[in-house]
A = this chain, B = another copy of it.
Amino acid sequence: MSKLGEFELIQQIRSSVIVPENIQGIGDDCAVIPQQEGYETLVSTDMLMEGVHFLREDVNPYQLGWKSAAVNFSDIAAMGGEPIGSFLAFSLPKNLSDEWIARFMEGYQAISQQFSFPLLGGDTTSSLDRICICVTVLGKTKKGLSRKRNSAQVGDLVCVTGTLGDSAAGLDVILNKRERKEDEHWLVNRHYHPTPRLFEGIELAKTEGVHAMMDISDGIGSDLRHIIEESQVGINIQVETIPLSPQLRRYCTTNHLDAIQLATCGGEDYELVFTVSPEAEKQITVAHTIIGTVTAGNELNWEGSNKEYLGFRHF
């Protein structure tokens, strides 16, 4: 924060944000958002710490800005929610340049505009040495239409959007400083610029037979256990049906890595996983892959593999 002071920074951010007319965003003690009968507000918050979630020397600020927003938008997507807005709190070391902050905000605003998620408030403070970012997002669904983790039914199919493991492979490229050709660049981009599946989530929430839904942040090896626990069901995954990108397959072959391990335990894909009745699955227009079934019992089984995939744990 060499040149810009706190108030100047806030003024600069405030003037660059387009806020819907009926919402009061940055500039007071609180943002003020109208409520609508028959709707529910969705709220989620995520914290990103330098040294744990990202390394300052390896991430550029634009990517970090994008990702800070993306991981939160993904939580709204996971419930089938539409955007209301976001709140950005950050602590920045004093030696961080104005240029760094400007690029961070550029990335944050780029994804916010792409997904119509206006920045409505936040907090800016200094820190001794590390960057800390905390984003809180608000979304909405019609009453009773949000999709939760506790609604999986025995007999449902388990489906995912997109491909899994790309983000983990991208992280592998970064951490091992591998030479970056086309595949490596693509994987790193999947790591830094995940696409929150907001449109897919809204579309899936319109289909009555879509029961449980969540986003994949820690890898299905960990995340599916939440559905199992909350829904009191079991899940069988047919390991060979897990969707893998050709880039991931080639990268894993070249570097002797287990693609399924990355796809199930790597995390940070921010794809959606959902359970749906077999009849309803036929009506889904959103691109998806069936990877398993919901069963009685409360086990997570990996069919076609003798490994146990556990996913990422934060501590």
Contacts and interface: CB of A to CB of B under 8 A. Distances in A.
Interface of A: 1, 4-7, 9, 24, 27-47, 49-53, 75-76, 78-79, 81, 87, 89-91, 94, 120-130, 132, 134, 136, 138-141, 143, 146, 148-150, 214-215, 230, 313-315
Contact of A79 (B32, B35, B41, B139): B32
A181 B52 CA distance: 43
25 contacts: A5-B313, A6-B313, A27-B230, A30-B42, A30-B139, A31-B42, A31-B43, A32-B40, A32-B141, A33-B42, A34-B41, A34-B143, A35-B36, A35-B39, A41-B41, A43-B121, A44-B87, A47-B89, A47-B123, A49-B91, A49-B125, A49-B128, A49-B132, A52-B125, A134-B134
Nearest to A34: B40
A91 B132 contact: yes
Contacts of A81: 30
A73 to B, nearest CB: 11
Contacts of A39: 35
A138 B47 contact: no
B315 A6 contact: yes
A90 B132 CA distance: 10
A53 B4 CA distance: 20
Contact of A53 (B9, B27, B125): B125
Contact of A89 (B9, B41, B46, B121): B46
Contacts of A125: 47, 49, 52-53, 314
B134 A94 contact: no
A45 B127 contact: no
B315 A126 contact: yes
A180 to B, nearest CB: 27
A5 B315 contact: yes
Given A1-B315, A31-B42, 7 more contacts: A29-B44, A30-B139, A43-B120, A45-B87, A52-B91, A52-B125, A124-B314
A315 B94 contact: yes
Contact of A41 (B33, B37, B52, B123): B33
Contact of A51 (B43, B128, B214, B315): B128
Closest 4 CB pairs of A and B: A134-B134, A37-B37, A35-B35, A29-B78
Contact of A215 (B24, B29, B42, B123): B29
A112 to B, nearest CB: 16
Contacts of A150: 27-28
B140 A79 contact: no
